[in-house]
Amino acid sequence: MSRLPVAPVAATGLVVAFALAQGTGLRWLGGTVLLVTGAVCLLLAVPRAGWWRPLAVVGVGVAVFVASHAAADVLGAWPAVLTAAAVLGATAWWLVDRGRLADPARESAGHR
pLDDT at residue 10 is higher than 90: yes
Concatenate the DSSP letters of all residues of 36-50 into one string. HHHHHHHHHHHHHHT
pLDDT at residue 112 is higher than 50: no
pLDDT at residue 103 is higher than 60: no
Is residue 103 in some structural domain?
A: no
Segment 26-85, tens digit of pLDDT = 999 999 999 999 999 999 999 989 999 999 999 999 999 999 999 999 999 999 999 999
What is the pLDDT, as a whole number, of residue 99?
77
Is residue 51 in some structural domain?
A: yes
Is residue 90 in some structural domain?
A: yes
* Separation between Cα atoms, residue 52 and residue 30, nearest integer Å: 26
CA 1, 63, 78, 7: dihedral to nearest 10 degrees?
-20
What is the number of domains present in the chain?
1
Is residue 107 in some structural domain?
A: no
Burial 48-77 (b: 16+ CB within 10 A, else e): bbeeebbebbbebbeebbeebeebbeeeee
Considering only residues 109 and 84, tell me which one the structure prediction assigns the higher pLDDT. 84
Is residue 110 in some structural domain?
A: no
* 12: containing domain: 6-97
